[in-house]
Amino acid sequence: ALDPARWRSTITAVSEACGAFGANIMEPRSGGAFGGVLYSASLDRGMEDYVGEEWHRRDGRARLIVPSKQRGVVLEQDFMAPDEENSVDFYRFLAKHRLRDAVMMDVSAEGDDLYFVLQGRIEVGGFSHEDMSHFHAIRTRFMSAAQLMRHFSTSRNGGMAAAFETARIGCLFFDRNGRVVLANPKAESLLQGGPVLANGQIKAIRPAEGAAFNKALQAVTDGAPAQPGAPEVVTLSRLLGRPLMVRLQRLGEQFGDIFNPAAAMALIEDPDAAAGLAPETLSTLFGLTPAEARIALILSNGTSAVDIAGQTGLAYETVRSHIRAIFRKTETGRQSELSALFSRIRL
């Protein structure tokens, strides 16, 4: 349970032990669609066609969700009409991939609807009712593992949100349906001056920006294999100040932590926010004396040496001497470089 990288090999082993063609974990998505969150290697081709031909939007096994939620485990053959396998397009699609009657187990974890499906072999036929006790035992083990996975994933998400809060960066976590499941206080404060967080969704003040945000969010939560490169970046305008910068990034790999309630995260930065550095931080990073650190912070805000002397009560030549030492220790040459350097420090 604690090593997401082993989940694919585990469900493959369960599938083989049960004599199934393959196994997968399904997750209902918004709009009545399903996502193939995790599946055995034997289903690679079938899942490719399942998505490519958009069967995930019209899966005939959706009718098994309610009874599996009620009973825990159901056999598909118990819910099929005579000759349905030959007359319904969905089942002809399954037959093309040598798949037959399935076993569906509800392995949902604390509100996350997930279903473990054993895919039967067309040459063997359906599974036996005599094996129901074994299927229930498998489901129990999966449920226990899911609870452990969710607990540790939630703790990890909370730690990340707290770390970004310390760095004064807003942080949001989204589930696979694009709804916010966690927001740190910084994100909540930033989403008040125009764009707002309401009912788990971001509401932009400009429709075009809202559409761009939702498109970028869908790109990182749609379940397709993650593409290398930079995260999705969008902006959200405010009533006052420059637009917020939002970076959207998927959490983990395609076969990563499937029981993590969050599938993606967004980092929100305010370009108008002051660096807010503490003198002690500059002393630690650059070896500045306490006096140099205080002057460096004032200097980085664009204040002239003459005005710094007036604010601090120091002689002008003393201030100039401190400024030369600051530039030397920070390896900068002018005021704008110092400001740019300090703006990148998030401690």
What phi and psi, each to the nearest 5 degrees, are found at residue 337?
Answer: -65, -40
Average pLDDT, the chain: 86
Choose the weakest-confidence range: 27-36, 70-79, 120-129, 326-335.
27-36
b/e per residue 70-85 (b: at least 16 CB within 10 A): eebbbbbbeebeeeeb
The residue with greater pLDDT, 304 or 150, is 304
Per-residue pLDDT, averaged over 41-62, amounts to: 89
Choose the weakest-confidence range: 13-22, 64-73, 140-149.
140-149
Choose the weakest-confidence range: 27-41, 62-76, 315-329.
27-41
Q: What is the pLDDT of residue 232?
A: 82
Per-residue pLDDT, averaged over 228-245, amounts to: 81
Residue 274 reports pLDDT greater than 70: no
Q: How confident is the model at residue 253 (pLDDT cuts 50, 70, 90)?
A: low
Per-residue pLDDT, averaged over 283-308, amounts to: 90
Tokens of 211: 């559409």
Cα-Cα-Cα-Cα dihedral sign, residues 83, 86, 87, 88:
positive
Facing residues of 94 across strands? none
The residue with greater pLDDT, 330 or 251, is 330
Q: How confident is the model at residue 4 (pLDDT cuts 50, 70, 90)?
A: confident
Q: What is the pLDDT of residue 26?
A: 86
Distance CA 142, CA 276 (A): 47
Q: What is the pLDDT of residue 169?
A: 86
Q: CB under 8 Å, gap of 24 or more: what pairs does 51-57 form?
A: 53/93, 55/90, 55/93, 57/31, 57/32, 57/33
Q: How confident is the model at residue 287 (pLDDT cuts 50, 70, 90)?
A: very high
* In 147-188, beta strands by DSSP E: 170-174, 180-183
Q: What is the pLDDT of residue 255?
A: 45
Per-residue pLDDT, averaged over 225-231, amounts to: 53
Counted residue by residue, the chain has a size of 347
Q: What is the pLDDT of residue 36?
A: 63
Name the helix (H) or strand (E) containing 84: helix 84-87
Question: How do residues 88-113 score in pLDDT, each as one tens digit?
Answer: 999 999 999 999 899 999 998 766 78
The residue with greater pLDDT, 254 or 105, is 105
pTM score of the predicted model: 0.67
Q: How confident is the model at residue 252 (pLDDT cuts 50, 70, 90)?
A: low
Residue 3 reports pLDDT greater than 50: yes
Q: What is the pLDDT of residue 170?
A: 92
Per-residue pLDDT, averaged over 154-167, amounts to: 88
